[in-house]
Structure 1
Amino acid sequence: MTSYITSFGQSLRKFRLVSSVSLAFVSAFSGGATAQNSDAETRMAFVVGNASYGSDMLPNARNDAESMSATLQTLGFDVTLVLDATQEDFTRELQEFSKSAAQRDAGAVLVYYAGHGVQLGGKNYLIPVDANIQDVDTLVSESLHFDQLLEQVGSSSAFKMVFLDACQNNPFQDRIDHFKAGLAPPPDVSGFLIGFATQPGKVAYDGAGNNSPYASALLSHLRAPGQEVLSVLAKVNKHVRKDTGGAQVPYVQFSVKPEFFFKPGPEAEQDLEGRLWQLSARQEDPELIGLYLRRYPEGRFAEEARSIIGKGNSSPGTARSENPENVSSLEDAIWTNALDSRNKSLLEYYIERFPNGPNVDQAKQLVSQMASDNPDNMTSAELCRKFATHPNDSTVAFQGVSLNRLADNATAAINACQVAIQTFPEDAHYKALLARAYAAVGNTDSAIDFYKQAATAGNTRALVSLGLLYELGQGVPKDLSAAREHFEQAYQNGSADGAINLAVSLYTGTGGPRDVQRAITLLEYASSEGAARATFNLGVFAKEGIYKSPEQAVEYFELAAQQGYAEAALAAAAIYDEGFHTEKSPRKASELLLSALTADRGETLAKITAEALSWSRDTIIEVQSSMKTAGYYEGALDGLPGPLFNRGLELWRLYGGSVSGKSAG
């Protein structure tokens, strides 16, 4: 059959993806406590949000704490929420919480603190709202020592986690100049996993919307099903880096075996977009499909969504007369999707659709805490991110947009980003977003000006974009050496996007000496950070015998497929179909082909349909069998593609692999 594996030069030059995270994990594990989740374990959380420091308000600290409390409750935590804690409140509530955790033999204990925190002499101090700090002595006497917090919580035998979103600028710089920026890593973390909003000695951002970048990332990923805690924190790390252009890098220390799952069970088979789409498509409810389009206006299924709405075949309320068992299952699916994606509109839909549902009160609480997804109710900083975020920097909250869509909203984006820069002058990422908005409308001079300003501050998105402009000679003289330098700096600042582009330069020898081995090392880094196209190119390297061995090519293609890259699924399917340096497996080939259908905007569907005869008969039979089981195919299991086969592929793309009751006719 025709191979779907492109040459390395073509694939590496073509595919550029960012997955910007530099894991800052420091392990001191020596066989201490291990968290083994069970349904019966007691989970307890102590959540503090200190916002009202007189004239020095931290409004997001309160929002962060309230949101964290509500989310942890959905994960089975018994939460003690303390807002605007005085020193007396802080000390008393912490003591009572620690005593209760020990008495109840809690299996998991979590502490989250949002508010002011400072370090002095390598020690960290959390600041109560009533602290009257005038000098070093009053700092020590009127703050809560972080070591004291660890000592109190440490009396529990539970799996213990502490998350500190407290690395603000020194609020007492007009009185005391001995403080260093940010917090210090504690010398002894025995029995704890401690997460810091940013690296030691660095300053974290308070945030432009309802939540800080760190809180937003935690809230977005704590509910990821089947993810062990370090996997969750790796996603948090990437999220924060994307949200800040690499300026803020969360940091983790632990001396426990981190086998804790916030949400035990199997990992989700689909990503958040795929899950919302399949829920919407199966219901054929225009309101749900409209919610999908609001969240993913350029999503993988946007064309199908607009087509379904345009046909007007359904009306709000479709499938609402289902039997009670199905209604209960639907309610649970909507509730889970809304929680996992932090989708305010979907939560509001849940409240409207199930006014007497068991989760309505909790849904109302969560809705009151979430930022609006209506542009009319967003701050300028949120609008700037909504309109101008690069697709490779997408997060749960801000999906990222193409240049074409950005051009449609360019005036609003430019105005919003200009205000955001004035409001948050220390956050260079808004300059990078403004530059992208200018680029979308062809104002190259202004785009380059703001890209350069953001790049000088180390912003990874600006560095990569400038590198590409130098590489192409757009708005600046073509300079391959300068392009390589910008990619190098972006990589040094943790950008997988920069690493991939630098790998291109090193492999081809453009902009400097050729260095194939370092190109491979850079691709390995980007792959480890979840960059599917980097993983795919390692597979191409392996297939060609440049990296590892041809036998291992399929492993990289399958991993890239798991990371969401459709062409990698086709490449792996081709290997199993052909038996290229591996045992033939029509079943695996079939599974990969079907998984690829929902991983892009329909390109794979068109390719499989057009080239179906190039696949082996046994693989086609496996595809037919799977589609028949799902109710999408009524033809014979004969290995011969045709109209019924093509229609089955279309239905699989629309509704996914579970039996949906949709007609195959």
Structure 2
Amino acid sequence: MHIVSLRLWCLAVAISTLVALSTTVAYAEKRVALVIGNSDYQHVARLPNPQNDAASIAEALRQVGFDAVIEKNDLPFQLLNITLRDFAALADTADVALVFYAGHGMEVEKVNYLIPVDAALKSDRDVSYEAIQLDQVIQAVEGARRMRIVILDACRDNPFMQSIKRTGGTRSIGRGLSIVEPDQGNTLISFAAKAGTTADDGDAAHSPFTAALLAHLNSPGLEISKLFRLVRDQVLQETGYRQEPFTYGSLSSEDFYLIAPDQQAMAPPPDSHDGLVESGTSETSFDPRQLELAFWKSIENSNEASSFQSYLEQFPQGTFAILAKNKLAKLKEQPSVESSTGKSDWQAELAAMKEVKDRQPEYFAMATVPELAEAARFLPEAVAEGNAQAQYFLGYCYYHGGCGYEPNYAEASRLFITAAGQGNADAEASLGWLYMIGDGVVEEHPEGLKWLNRAADQGNVFAYNKLGYIHEEGMGVDQDYSKSAHFYQLAADQGDAGAKYSLGQLYNKGTGVPFDPQKSAIYLLEAGKGGIVQSKATVMSDEAADFLSTETRKAIQSELKKQGLYRGVVDGQFGPGTRQALKAYWGE
């Protein structure tokens, strides 16, 4: 096929797809997925298959046309929380949202939990502090407009059951997971094994459940309910009827397909020898034109020049390149907003945003402060002027989905890269963290560390905190608590409350620093006063004795006495008097 003919064919395909939108949503709808594989558990034996399962499921979802597939492995509690929070923002912009989780899960008192890799679960009470409720996962997909899917290969035999301490005589811990009934329609939740039973991890490269999913996910014209029935039948047969997958939820009468019945017609003609199909790949592999069309549909009504510039950078010879260039030219011709002095106001607005950031340096509230949404309207103008701070702020808006901007990790990373190239420390730190966790860029720890260290060299608090966390968790580096404490101290010295909480924990345990109850008490109290909810929860918890040493609890009471807020005995027992004094200290 000649190049000219191919371009005409591509254009015809795109036009025919747009015309067919009234009868099929195979290309118009936005689909996003989060895929998690937890294998390397720190306190129980390693699970061999979840990482393999997650990698293959992620690739299969890309091949069936998902616009964004976020793949994560071996998530500890904090990162699992962050990942679900960020995916929820992305799901709010999508028609279809899917979460696949492979790893350990458990049920306590009819509540289902996914278990992060750093969970110790010494007692049944620890589950609510160290594991993630399934409801939180369901909430992460509930913003999708058309279909919400949660797939859990998490019913494996639970090794924590052998060692977990029972603290309540009536507290139940079940085998497998418990029945779940989603509140929202068009929500489908699939378990690898029905409630109260366990699933095999398998001796092959994939668990039986994941293997069955992979066998059917890319089948054209397979309605979603039928797909999971076929998965059930295959797993039953392959496990000798020991394991029965089960699907919960309520779907409407509308058929839903991962690959529509007529979608095969969108593949290139079989006699094509134009070089688009790389050697060693199948002609039925994922068609990049699907991604281009999805990208275009997401921006075609935008009034932001940066959106069309981004399209042209990614698809310079794309089907809609001429339209994008025309739209970009029109937007650039529009007069900028001016103040009464006739000069652009973006410098003043930028200063206002920086003031907010400086008040809360690690996670400043720009994206959630309503009055700053107006200020953010000036960001594209400042970005066009090449202002690095504006590039960072606009990237922040895109990443968190604030100030009137929809979440867009790719656009956020592009802006961070541009600003970091100009030496902006905020952008360097944000870009470094994106490389560490793989949001909007390929996960690459050495690259992430490079940018975070550059930002830290400029005294950036966000970078200090992230480097502290990275060394504490051994994330792409050897675990080193002394380095972790060093970076947290640098951030705390600038008044950062989150770093003070982390230091309070380290001094309480004597990890990476000498055991020092007095310092631990002061840092935990100051962190709570600075608005760190986790610090308040740690100190005020009914199980504070499980988290804080007796010496640290006594030191907290002594500090409250110094402040004239506590008159009781310094015994480390947090009764009503201590709790009232804590609330007074925190101004509650």
TM range (shorter): 0.3 to 0.5
Normalised TM-score (structure 1) = 0.36
Normalised TM-score (structure 2) = 0.40
More relative contact order, 1 or 2 (CA 8 Å, 6+ apart): 1
